[in-house]
């Protein structure tokens, strides 16, 4: 499955920063039950790799990926842990080469037109736009739609249920990434029914 097919599975990719390993599997199951099967586990905590591996092993319905991949070493760790795709906040030449060599479906991050063009030259057609809200949001995406025809984006950063529909209405937006479907307090309390309800609302959002 390539990155475009992964992005097409749901309008929202949950961006998950997991603090406790014990939360990983029930959190993933709640999100999948709500209709969000593509999950990004960010490499921002000490348990992230183990959390990713646990979800890959115990929640086969999930398409689990590694987020905040910054270099080739982290890319290799993600693959070894069972990641089915990767995501980066930006992308260097070295990381882009490693991604192409690995064959792992990947969503590289951009913030500027020049960065988007550089990745286009390397064959990437679906890009993460980050941090979306701070970098121009829907205004930026509308402005680049014509000059960057053929590229699509997954905006992430500062997006919640209130503004997600405005992003998803744009033809050059494939999906959005967001953490609102797994609020920190709900995860801390083990309130998986709340997570499932939020996931159902997000999965019901319409795309262009």
Task: Return d(Cα 123, Cα 192) in angstroms, integer.
Answer: 39
For the record, the structure tokens of 77 come out as 């760790």
Of 45, 57, 61, 5, which is closest to residue 199 (Cα–Cα)? Answer: 61
- Residues sharing a CB contact under 8 Å with residue 61, sequence separation 6 or more, in sequence order: 32, 37
Q: Which of 72, 115, 128, 196 is catalytic?
A: 128
Q: Which residue has the tokens 């529909």?
A: 165
- Residues sharing a CB contact under 8 Å with residue 67, sequence separation 6 or more, in sequence order: 15, 16, 40, 41, 42, 43, 86, 87
H helices of 59-136, in order, are 72-81, 93-102, 113-121
CA terminus-to-terminus distance, the chain: 22
What would you report as the CA-atom Rg of the chain, rounded to the nearest whole angstrom? 16
Task: Return d(Cα 67, Cα 88) in angstroms, integer.
Answer: 6
Residue 58 annotated to the active site:
no
Q: Which of 9, 40, 61, 162 is catalytic?
A: 40
| CA quadruple 151, 87, 129, 122: dihedral, nearest 10 | -40
Residue 40 annotated to the active site:
yes
- Catalytically active residues are 40, 128
């Amino acid at each position: 499955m390539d990155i475009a097919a992964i992005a097409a599975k749901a309008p929202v990719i949950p961006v998950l920063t997991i603090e406790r390993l014990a939360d990983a599997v029930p959190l993933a199951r709640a999100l999948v039950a709500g209709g969000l099967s593509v999950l990004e586990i960010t490499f921002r905590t000490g348990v992230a790799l183990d959390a990713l591996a646990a979800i890959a092993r115990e929640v086969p319905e999930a398409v689990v990926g590694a987020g905040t991949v910054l270099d080739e070493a982290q890319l290799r760790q993600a693959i070894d842990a069972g990641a089915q795709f990767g995501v980066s906040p930006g992308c260097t030449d070295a990381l882009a080469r490693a991604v192409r060599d690995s064959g792992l479906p990947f969503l590289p991050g951009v913030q500027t037109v020049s960065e988007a063009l550089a990745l286009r030259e390397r064959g990437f057609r679906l890009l993460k736009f980050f941090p979306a809200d701070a970098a121009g949001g829907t205004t930026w995406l509308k402005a680049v739609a014509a000059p960057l025809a053929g590229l699509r984006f997954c905006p992430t950063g500062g997006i919640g249920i209130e503004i997600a529909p405005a992003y998803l209405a744009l033809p050059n937006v494939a999906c959005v990434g967001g953490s609102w479907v797994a609020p920190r307090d709900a995860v801390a309390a083990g309130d998986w029914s709340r997570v499932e309800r939020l996931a159902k609302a997000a999965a019901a959002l319409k795309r262009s």
